[in-house]
Amino acid sequence: MSGTLFVVATPIGNLEDLTPRARQTLAEVSLIAAEDTRHTGRLLMHIGCKTRLLALHDHNEEKVVHGLIESLQGGNNVALVSDAGTPLVSDPGFRLVRAAHEHGITVSPIPGASAVTAALSAAGIPTDRFCFEGFAPSKHAARKDWLENLANERRTLVIYESVHRIEESLADMVTVFGPDRQAFIGRELTKMHEQCVQESLGELHRQVKDKSIVGKGEFAIVIAGSSHKQESPLEVDRLLRALCAHLSAKDSAKVAAEATGLKRNALYERLLVLKTSDT
């Protein structure tokens, strides 16, 4: 009989957030597949657990999955953990979990800490609908383009950012979303120097810039969804045709972009398609 792959959430900061069930699971499995064995080793030392560790990260996951599946098929139980929080949420492990399902191996989640849900719970921003977007691109141009694609998203956004890019990322968010969009920063969540601040994006950027929000640690950013109602494709086409009757294609796309919040290049391309179909 095959073993079980346990997907175990570990603390995002405070080690006391490890659940009793997670503690028991880590102690009882035959093997723990960890993103960083040194990091997880410190957690195991804290709880007095001596279970064998195996590294599983982005660079070796494809190579070690086969061996882990064989171990599970042999009846061994395996725990999958990331450095912090719930595995597979911006962490490795997808290939292993998918392979386990493909081989008919039971996958069982051991829930617990998650920076996404921790930030949402403290943000004071609607959480009935939200989307997790992970880390923003590191380069300015790519990040700005990425944010522009989220500008009209009506759901609450959750974004991770590193200490090295938090100030410039917030500056780009202010440019794309506007300085008045409500947002929240959770810095070093559950840790000794935790900061939870809800303000407008413009004010958050100012506080990061003047060090009121300390430039150290890890950041989870929650951003209120857009209140702008996105036009349907038919409404956009109607607007483009009306503008094109009085303006050049380039100027029509520019005005439509300002009115709808959609990307100018995409509107320009759409206008060219409309012109071709109308002739």
On whether the CB atoms of residues 112 and 120 are closer than 8 A, the answer is: no
In a domain, residue 228? The reply is no
The pTM for the full model equals 0.81
Q: Is residue 108 located within the same domain as residue 126?
A: no
Residue ranges in the chain modelled with pLDDT below 50: none
CB within 8 Å of 162: residues ≥ 6 apart: 135, 218, 219
In a domain, residue 77? The reply is yes
Identify which of 107, 109, 108, 81 has the alpha carbon closest to the alpha carbon of residue 93: 81
Residue 130: predicted pLDDT? 97
Q: Residue 201 and residue 225: Cα distance in Å, rounded? A: 12
Identify which of 105, 36, 95 has the alpha carbon closest to the alpha carbon of residue 70: 105
Residue 230: predicted pLDDT? 58
pLDDT tens per residue across span 213-255: 999 999 999 999 998 665 567 788 889 999 988 999 899 999 9
Q: 178, 200, 223: which is the final residue of a domain?
A: 223
Q: Residue 210 and residue 238: Cα distance in Å, rounded? A: 46
Q: 57, 91, 113: which is the final residue of a domain?
A: 113
On whether the CB atoms of residues 182 and 162 are closer than 8 A, the answer is: no
On whether the CB atoms of residues 231 and 154 are closer than 8 A, the answer is: no
Give the domain range for residue 247. Answer: 233-278
Give residue for tokens 């780009």: 172
CB within 8 Å of 51: residues ≥ 6 apart: 26, 27, 29, 30, 31, 32, 44, 79
Find the distance separating the first CA and the last CA of the chain, reported in whole Å. Answer: 68
Residue 231: predicted pLDDT? 57
Q: Is residue 105 located within the same domain as residue 122?
A: no
In a domain, residue 137? The reply is yes
Residue 233: predicted pLDDT? 73
> Which stretches within the chain are classed as H helix?
20-28, 37-47, 61-73, 94-102, 115-123, 140-148, 166-177, 201-209, 233-244, 249-260, 264-278
Residue 259: predicted pLDDT? 82
Angle between helices 166-177 and 140-148 (to 10 degrees): 40
Residue 129: predicted pLDDT? 96
On whether the CB atoms of residues 104 and 3 are closer than 8 A, the answer is: no
Residue 273: predicted pLDDT? 85
In a domain, residue 172? The reply is yes
Q: Quote the number of domains for the chain.
A: 3
Q: Is residue 33 located within the same domain as residue 104?
A: yes
